Structure 1
Amino acid sequence: MRLAHEQELDAPRDAVWANFMDLRRIGRCFPGAKVTEVHGDDFVGEIKAKLGPLSMYFDGTGSMVERDEDGGRARLTATGQERHGLGKATIDITLTLRATGTDDRTRAHLVTDLVFLGFPMDFGTGLVQRASDPLIERFLSCMAVSGAVPDAEADDEGSLDLVRSASDLLGSFRRDRRERKRR
């Protein structure tokens, strides 16, 4: 499944690039993720995702496989295994940064190729795209912040809540439908 996100960030291109090159920061900025080890361009990490009252934990490894600072392009790949189940996931993320017309803003384009196997994630690409939009928006906004980013809290507030994302998505469908009826 391929997802694409584009967002204009309130930060200079060089600052956003530097933040994306910090693998630990990537883990702190993505909801539910934590990078536990970094060795050069390789990392080890985990993601906690909630599906209603159920919590799923994935352990994985990954690498920054491409860094083209002049072209503003980076690529990261990772694979993960569900701790207490048969679920597996692979992800390939390509980031492209472009300057806007001003020095203090950057356009970020993120393309994500996802493969999920063995757990209840059989949604259509359109649904996953819309549900992921707010998560990626938060992630990209965090990557534009200068200075240190605190680690996610150990409680459930730091996990990736799939039901809340789906509820937010359903709420947006209802709003869209109400707006169409008013027209």
Structure 2
Amino acid sequence: MELDHDFTVPVPVDQAWSVLLDVERVAACMPGATLDSIEGEEFKGRMKVKVGAMTITYRGSARIVSADESSRTVTMEASAKEARGSGTAAATVQAKLIDEGDTTRVTVHTKLNVTGRPAQFGRNILAEVGSKIISRFAKALEEELESSGTESSGAGAEGAAETEAESGASVTEITPESAAAPAAPEAAEASGAPEAPAEPQTAAAPAAKRERPLRVAREDDAIDLLEVAGPSVAKRAVPAVGGLVGLLVVFRLLTRRRRGRKKR
């Protein structure tokens, strides 16, 4: 099945392009998704989907097939399998960024193939689920962009303060007292007083090599298929239930007439 969605992010297209290519940031914003590892061009992770009280976990991998900066188009392929089941999911996702000044509109075209329990809901329900996921993703991405912007501005102010402090510390005024201070050791040597043992200098510990950890996923907010499908299922079920009730009424009337004829 093929699904189409779109959303808007509150940043210019150049910034949106770099953000959407950052798999760690994108995965952290995706409802129910957890990024486990990055191996070269391949990303491995998990995706949780709820069906009422039951949670289905898909484990799989994805990779960016193409990223055309001139057309601002990214194509990604992903495949996964149920951790406890035989269901599978495979998708080819193409996202295109459209410049709208201070904001960027992102159109997403997905070719999806699902087997197993979620497949029973059909295309229309899965399209609604996709819209729900995209909506939550866009909101989380907007919060991520706002928080990162605040952190970067705060870090810039902090760095400026540190630079100012360092430049202030580099200028030291020489006073008569400070100029006379180095003569103290010579006076101690002339008096014959034992010199205090020098404290052993400890070698500066080498800076620990920092490895960038994978971003921690947000709280477990996996999409519930039944919650999303509920209203739609109810709307579709009303005509069917109405028709069934009508058939039962007609059947009951016919049986009553037959019984009445038999009594006569």
Tell whether the structures are fold-level matches, with TM greater than 0.5: yes
1:58 offset after TM fit, Å?
0.9
- Tell me which protein shows more strand as a share of its residues: 1
Tell me, in whole angstroms, the C-alpha distance in 2 between the residues paired with 1:130 and 1:152.
22
State the match for 2:79 in structure 1.
79
Tell me, in whole angstroms, the C-alpha distance in 2 between the residues paired with 1:119 and 1:19.
33
Q: Equivalent residue of 1:11, what SS?
A: coil
Q: After alignment, is 19-28 or 56-65 more displaced?
A: 19-28
TM-score (norm 1): 0.81
Q: Which amino acid aligns with 2:64?
A: M
- Residues 15 and 43 (structure 1 numbering): CA distance in 2 closer, same or farther, change over 3 Å? same
Q: Equivalent residue of 1:129, what SS?
A: helix
8 A Cα contact 2:7 2:134, kept in partner: no
> Counterparts in 2 of 1:28-107, with a 5 A limit?
28-100=28-100, 102=101, 104-107=102-105
- Residues 61 and 163 (structure 1 numbering): CA distance in 2 closer, same or farther, change over 3 Å? same
Cα RMSD of the aligned pairs, angstroms, is: 2.3
1:30 offset after TM fit, Å?
1.0
Tell me, in whole angstroms, the C-alpha distance in 2 between the residues paired with 1:61 and 1:45.
6
Q: Which amino acid aligns with 2:87?
A: G
State the match for 2:27 in structure 1.
27
1:22 offset after TM fit, Å?
1.2
- Tell me which protein shows more helix as a share of its residues: 2
Q: 1:142 is matched with which residue: 128, 132, 140? A: 140
Aligned: 1:152 with 2:218:
yes
Following TM superposition, the consecutive aligned residue runs of length 4 or more in structure 1 with deviations greater than 4 angstroms are 168-171
Tell me, in whole angstroms, the C-alpha distance in 2 between the residues paired with 1:8 and 1:24.
20
Q: 2:225 is matched with which residue: 158, 162, 170? A: 162
8 A Cα contact 1:95 1:111, kept in partner: yes
1:121 offset after TM fit, Å?
2.0
Tell me, in whole angstroms, the C-alpha distance in 2 between the residues paired with 1:125 and 1:82.
19
> Counterparts in 2 of 1:9-20, with a 5 A limit?
9-20=9-20
Q: Could you give the per-residue CA deviations for residues 26-52 of structure 1, whole angstroms, max 9, x where no partner exists?
A: 221111001111123210000111111
Structure 2 runs not aligned, ≥5 long = 152-214, 237-264
- Number of equivalences: 168
Structure 1 runs not aligned, ≥5 long = 175-183
1:124 offset after TM fit, Å?
3.1
Q: Which amino acid aligns with 2:28?
A: R
Greater radius of gyration (CA): 2
TM-score (norm 2): 0.58
RCO higher in structure (CA 8 A, sep ≥6)? 1
1:125 offset after TM fit, Å?
2.1
1:129 offset after TM fit, Å?
1.7
